[in-house]
Chains A and B, each alone.
Chain A
């Protein structure tokens, strides 16, 4: 309504995937606020959540402009139905314990870093600017989470077992990062961003040495598949959205 839709095919969808990953993991990490095992990690998880939600605001604002139907960041964040979210399933899984939380942050940040790196060369100037800014944050998240993976994995028997259990649980969901699809093909052909399946080697190169140093066993790939980025979510997504959307659903248009 405010702007003509001139986005290339798949462009909006691709930006929604980026924005929703940051939004949904940011929402999950916010649940730790006031509950983390130690004060330092409470601040770390809250700060990481804040970075991710900041990235989501920029990305969803951009998606709304590309769409050209007058939807802003809040309408996209709070007023879509479950099947309209395009985040990876990994982001929406419950936190469970601190071990699973930091292992997930590690697996996710190791994906965000090469993704944002490539996006700094995007033909979409706004997306390139957001990526350059977010890359600095993602690198810091990766370093923080990676240290914890090593500390827990190469720690006590209990911390090792919990870290391994977290890795075994989360690993199958990482296959979704690299599932090829026509949107990635169209977007990478247009120079907007990389096809995510081309990031698998970079991701593994970042992830595996840390897991080895953490004395964790890298799980084998299985036929398991998840489909969050295509809009088909786990049973956990509805609960997350109910919490996240309640204010806007109850008081439509409410502002801080």
Chain B
């Protein structure tokens, strides 16, 4: 049997098409979940980092990475989970932010490094509506359908939307 090996850059390309299971419009690479790809004897080693400690998607993501690389002809795939440095939404590039917006999710505003959490008793910062661009919005819920999002409503177009929290 001949194993067709994948180069590291080919592997990155394959992983660039692996969607996040909860926000399929962006890939696991664009979200910053894949930290490192290294070829080694007989296969590949992929380093991933979880978004939130309890994110239920973590295991699905590892499985989809394994499946995509196997289908592309990688040999044995070894997935290592690395916590340090901790995942941050700051790793999301402009292209990923545009895709989120087009999908109806407001991307994280500002940087997590600048402090995503606001002081207690705040009027929630207004976010730009991904549908109509208005900033006349209100927060409905600090937690949304997944750990990484909050729920907002636009007062201008009346549409609800999710906001990707900066962490």
Q: Which residue numbers of A lie inside 8 Å of B, CB to CB? A: 39-40, 43-44, 47-55, 57-58, 125-126, 128-130, 132-134, 136-137, 139-140, 142-144, 146-147, 150, 210, 213
Query: Cβ of B141 and Cβ of A137 under 8 Å apart?
Result: no
Chain B: which residue is nearest A120 at the CB level?
A: B86
| Cβ contact of B142, chosen from A51, A125, A144, A150, cutoff 8 A | A144
Instruction: Compute how far the CA of A47 lies from the CA of B87 in the bound complex, rounded to whole angstroms.
Output: 18
Instruction: Compute how far the CA of A54 lies from the CA of B165 in the bound complex, rounded to whole angstroms.
Output: 18
Instruction: Compute how far the CA of A61 lies from the CA of B134 in the bound complex, rounded to whole angstroms.
Output: 46
- Contacts A51-B54, A53-B54, A55-B54 hold; do A147 and B86 have CB atoms under 8 A apart? no
Chain A: which residue is nearest B88 at the CB level?
A: A136
Residues in A neighbouring B120, C-beta threshold 8 A? 142-143, 146-147, 150, 210, 213
- Contacts A52-B54, A54-B53, A143-B118 hold; do A132 and B85 have CB atoms under 8 A apart? yes
| Cβ contact of A54, chosen from B55, B144, B167, cutoff 8 A | B55
Query: Cβ of A133 and Cβ of B83 under 8 Å apart?
Result: yes
Query: Cβ of A132 and Cβ of B86 under 8 Å apart?
Result: yes
Q: Which residue numbers of B lie inside 8 Å of A, CB to CB? A: 50, 52-56, 83-87, 112, 116-121, 140-145, 147, 151, 165, 167
CB distance from A23 to the nearest CB of B (A): 11
Q: Sample 13 A-B pairs with CB under 8 A, ordered by A number.
A: A39-B141, A40-B142, A40-B151, A44-B143, A50-B56, A50-B147, A55-B53, A130-B83, A132-B84, A133-B83, A133-B87, A139-B117, A143-B120
Tally inter-chain residue pairs, CB-CB below 8 A: 87
- Contacts A52-B54, A55-B53, A137-B52 hold; do A43 and B84 have CB atoms under 8 A apart? no
Query: Looking at chain A's contact residues, is the secondary structure mostly helix, strand, loop, or mixed?
Result: helix
Residues in A neighbouring B167, C-beta threshold 8 A? 136-137, 140
Instruction: Compute how far the CA of A50 lies from the CA of B116 in the bound complex, rounded to whole angstroms.
Output: 20
Instruction: Compute how far the CA of A57 lies from the CA of B140 in the bound complex, rounded to whole angstroms.
Output: 31
Query: Cβ of B86 and Cβ of A129 under 8 Å apart?
Result: yes
- Contacts A54-B55, A133-B86, A134-B53 hold; do A40 and B117 have CB atoms under 8 A apart? no
Chain A: which residue is nearest B54 at the CB level?
A: A54
| Cβ contact of A51, chosen from B87, B118, B147, B151, cutoff 8 A | B147
Chain A: which residue is nearest B167 at the CB level?
A: A136
Instruction: Compute how far the CA of A130 lies from the CA of B118 in the bound complex, rounded to whole angstroms.
Output: 23
10 new A-B contacts at CB < 8 Å, known A44-B142, A47-B143, A140-B117: A40-B140, A43-B145, A48-B143, A50-B56, A52-B54, A53-B54, A129-B86, A134-B53, A136-B86, A210-B120
- Contacts A44-B141, A133-B53 hold; do A125 and B84 have CB atoms under 8 A apart? yes
Instruction: Compute how far the CA of A133 lies from the CA of B54 in the bound complex, rounded to whole angstroms.
Output: 11
Residues in B neighbouring A128, C-beta threshold 8 A? 84
CB distance from A217 to the nearest CB of B (A): 19
CB distance from B110 to the nearest CB of A (A): 15
Instruction: Compute how far the CA of A44 lies from the CA of B165 in the bound complex, rounded to whole angstroms.
Output: 14
